[in-house]
Structure 1
Amino acid sequence: MTIKPLALAILSASVLAACSTTTPLHKPSNKAASNEPIVYTEPDIAPPFYALNPFNYDQPPVFELELQKAAAVPLQKMEVTDPQNPNAKIILDQNKLIVPLVNNNQRTMKYAVIAGQDEIDITAIDDLLQMVEGKARHYPPQFIDRQERRGFESKLKEVSAQLDSLAAAPNASFDILIRAFKASILGRNLDLGPAYTTKSLDYAQRILKINKDDAEANLWFGFSLSEGGGQKEAIPYLNKAMNAGVQEAYLSSVNNYLWIEQKKNALQTLKNYKVKYPEEAEVVDRLIQEIEKSGRYNVWQVLQNPAQSK
């Protein structure tokens, strides 16, 4: 488990709190202020609580890796009609992340300035899912700002509805289904309604019917079952994800065993994790000690920010 993004989140909250109580050294006059234009800027998003690459905590997020690949592909600029003005033209000069909409049962990503027939530019959707995942991959979600959470909830509802519409096709592609699945779990974790739980189960069944060994699908289905009360049912899916080399599957399995009071299995999983990821030894040793002596029941428990939104 990496603590870097978690520590940064807590540090950011402390800095904000300190700034809010600091007395300004100089207060500008009302006259000067009235002559200055008011500029509105969106606040920066707080750092993620969870590592953005659950496969390998030392690697950049999968979304960023895909953007790097897109930037490395030779660019073929294209002039098209401006969708905002039919009488004008615009130049598309940046490769996007493109996936098939239908009739494809494998992960298939291509890089181009525009999507073709039966394809979709998934760039903006993947960007949002990554941001929400950093705060809400597990339950309960971890936010230090209520307004930020509300903004993510609103955007996720829109994206989830769009993905649901695309996934409604019986021949929807694997790429569409896996994103609709993840959006549904994130919606459930954000308490957006029971429909998100129902949808996530439906998507999981469709995905695993296509590829029962997909590492990401097994990770997400495993921990979502576990966090939803289906700890025993979660075990085979989390085991598959661990066997596929997904780093976070180990920690989700530890939680799962703790919740069904199988402390011995939880500790053994942590020891296996330490062997596979020796760079995490210090964190693992601390977790083992706290499980044995302090009654810890969640590997992320100690790093929760007490100022998180409820």
Structure 2
Amino acid sequence: MTLKPLACTLIAVSLLSACSTAPKEEKKPTTPIIFTEPDITPPFYALNPFNYDAPPPFEIALKQAAAQPVTKMEVNLQSDPSKKVTLDVNKLIIPTVNSNTRNLKFAVLAGENEIDITEIDDFLQLVEGKARHYPPRFTERQERKGFEAKLKELTQQLDTLASRDNASFDVLIRAFKASVMARNLDLGSVYTTKSLTYAQRILKINKEDAEANFWFGFGLSEGGGQREAIPYLDKAMQAGVQEAYLSAANNYIAMEQKKNAIQTLKNYKVKYPQEAEVADRLIAEIEKQGRWNVWQIIAPAQATPATPATPATPATPATPAP
């Protein structure tokens, strides 16, 4: 009498246990997560201030290096000295001391009192496109933070090399430009002092250097020393630095000398007829609106001039030693 209900109970339990048994999941092969850095946004400022129609100097140097014969060299791998690696690509090499002229050479490895400047020049070019002038131009906040962090590291490296009394001209000009851009990025007032010191040392070596006069001229202007900037920007214009005309016009605008600013832009249009549209636009806006910042006006995304930005931390103008 009791066997039948018991049998039914056992069958029911077996069915329930069968239903409750979870199926085994097959393990899917895991694929590694690869982080890809976002592309750097396009530059705002022209990468070749000497000639807007020419490639950037860094790219020209890379092409020259690639065109030169390569002397291969086998060296020990730094990460594992027991292994060797063959160097077969020319790099950009500069002297670190005892050289008062630009002395770029191409080799697979830097020698004594030399440094491979390839990566440094590559990064400086990227920063120039964003922060050669004030205000710096970034559309992505994280990108700016990345540039700031890297530039701090780079200035420390260049400052160490430039601290020597016999530091080369090539080292000094890079330390100078890096300091100007660090100031433009508001990384600290110390960079204003450093940039002035480097400019004095550079112009003491060669007071006619076009690049040094250009950078020192607009650096003084954008830091508050507009009157002191005039002779340096004039030298840069005479030496054929295209962007020096725009910096000079910007300098006169800051001094509220509208006539001089307009005349400078007219001269710019004559010298560079391909820039006539830009010059005419700037002249019209100066005449109608009064005082504006050149770099804001020529921004392609702006239909109307923006309120002028606050200048970079004013510098105490210093006249380089003759």
TM-score, structure 1 as length reference: 0.86
Match of 2:226?
231
Query: How far off its partner does 1:283 sit?
Result: 1.2
Match of 1:63?
58
Aligned: 1:168 with 2:144 = no
RMSD of aligned alpha carbons: 1.6
Query: How far off its partner does 1:298 sit?
Result: 1.6
- Structure 1 ranges of 4+ moved more than 6 A: none
Larger radius of gyration: 2
Q: 1:283 to 1:34 in 2, by over 3 A?
A: farther
- Whether the 8 Å CA contact 1:52–1:61 is kept in 2: the answer is yes
Match of 2:74?
79
Matched letter for residue 84 of structure 1: S
Matched letter for residue 59 of structure 2: E
Matched letter for residue 103 of structure 1: N
Query: How far off its partner does 1:171 sit?
Result: 0.2
* Structure 1 alignment gaps of length 5 or more: 1-32
Question: Aligned match of 1:286 in 269, 281, 290?
Answer: 281
1-side partners of 2:194 and 2:294: how far apart? 27
- Whether the 8 Å CA contact 1:255–1:266 is kept in 2: the answer is yes
| SS of aligned partner of 2:293 | coil
Match of 2:192?
197
- Whether the 8 Å CA contact 2:77–2:83 is kept in 1: the answer is yes
- Whether the 8 Å CA contact 1:79–1:89 is kept in 2: the answer is yes
| SS of aligned partner of 1:86 | coil
- Whether the 8 Å CA contact 2:50–2:240 is kept in 1: the answer is yes
Aligned: 1:275 with 2:261 = no
Query: How far off its partner does 1:178 sit?
Result: 0.3
Q: How many residues align?
A: 275
* Structure 2 alignment gaps of length 5 or more: 1-27, 303-309, 311-322
1-side partners of 2:41 and 2:126: how far apart? 10
1-side partners of 2:181 and 2:300: how far apart? 18
| SS of aligned partner of 1:223 | helix
Residues 228-267 of structure 1 mapped to structure 2, 5 A cutoff = 228-267=223-262
2-side partners of 1:34 and 1:223: how far apart? 58
- Whether the 8 Å CA contact 1:254–1:267 is kept in 2: the answer is yes
- Whether the 8 Å CA contact 2:258–2:290 is kept in 1: the answer is no
Identity %: 71
Residues 208-223 of structure 1 mapped to structure 2, 5 A cutoff = 208-223=203-218
Matched letter for residue 248 of structure 1: E
TM-score, structure 2 as length reference: 0.83
Query: How far off its partner does 1:36 sit?
Result: 5.1
